Copies of this chain bind each other. A is one copy, B any other.
C-alpha cells in the first residue's frame, strides 16, 4: 500500500449528544449497544459519514433516524481524533449536540432506536469509546452557549412558565438562581411574549404562559443587542 493510500484508510463519523429537559433534569438520549465493540455499553448515537454527505447533514440524519425530528437546534462542537479511540480502525468523530423538546420524542421504528433511552446527565455511567469525554465537552459548551444566546428555549415546549424557564437554566448550569432576579432580567430583555394564558389543572395558583419571541430577538440582534444571562 502506498503512503498516499494509507492516508485514505480511515473513516469519520459523527456523534450527537441529544439533550432534553423533562421539567426537572437535563437528560441525554443514549443507545444501548447490541454489538461489539463495547457490546452492552451505552453510547452516544452516531454513524459513519457517507462519502457524499456533509458533516452537518450526517448529524441531522442520525438525529432524524433516531427521533424522527427535523429542523432541530444542532451545533458542532469539535473533532475527536485520538489514534486509538476506535478499536477497529482509525476513525475520527465529529461531535455535535442538539436540543430537542423531550415531549416531541417518540420511539421510531428504526431498529437502533428501540434501544435508546433517556439518561440523566448527572447519572451517566461509563460509556463506550471516548463518549464520556465527548459528553463532557458538549455539556461544557452548552453551559457557555446557553448564557450567550437564547438557545435554551429549544428544550422547552412552545408555551412555558417562567418557573419552567428558570428550572431549565438551573438544570443546565447546575446552580440555583434567584427567582426575582431571574424574572427581572429575563423580562427586561423583551424576548418573552406574554400569551395572556394560564396553566390549567395545577393544584396551586396557575402560572402565566409565555412564548419566546424569535422575531423580536432577531430584530434586537440586528440593532446590536446581545443576549447575556
Contacts and interface: CB of A to CB of B under 8 A. Distances in A.
**Copies of the protein in its oligomer:** 2
A186 interface: no
Nearest to A94: B79
Interface stretch (A19-27, A46-54, A121-129, A169-177): A46-54
A82 interface: yes
Interface in A20-62: 48-55
Interface residues of A, number: 27
A188 interface: no
Contact of A9 (B6, B51, B82): B51
A78 B74 CA distance: 14
A7 B48 CA distance: 7
Interface of A: 6-12, 48-55, 76-83, 89-90, 92, 94
30 contacts: A6-B51, A7-B48, A7-B50, A7-B51, A8-B8, A8-B9, A8-B10, A8-B11, A8-B89, A9-B51, A10-B10, A10-B11, A10-B12, A12-B81, A12-B92, A51-B90, A52-B83, A52-B90, A53-B83, A54-B83, A55-B79, A55-B80, A55-B92, A76-B79, A77-B78, A78-B78, A79-B79, A79-B94, A81-B94, A92-B94
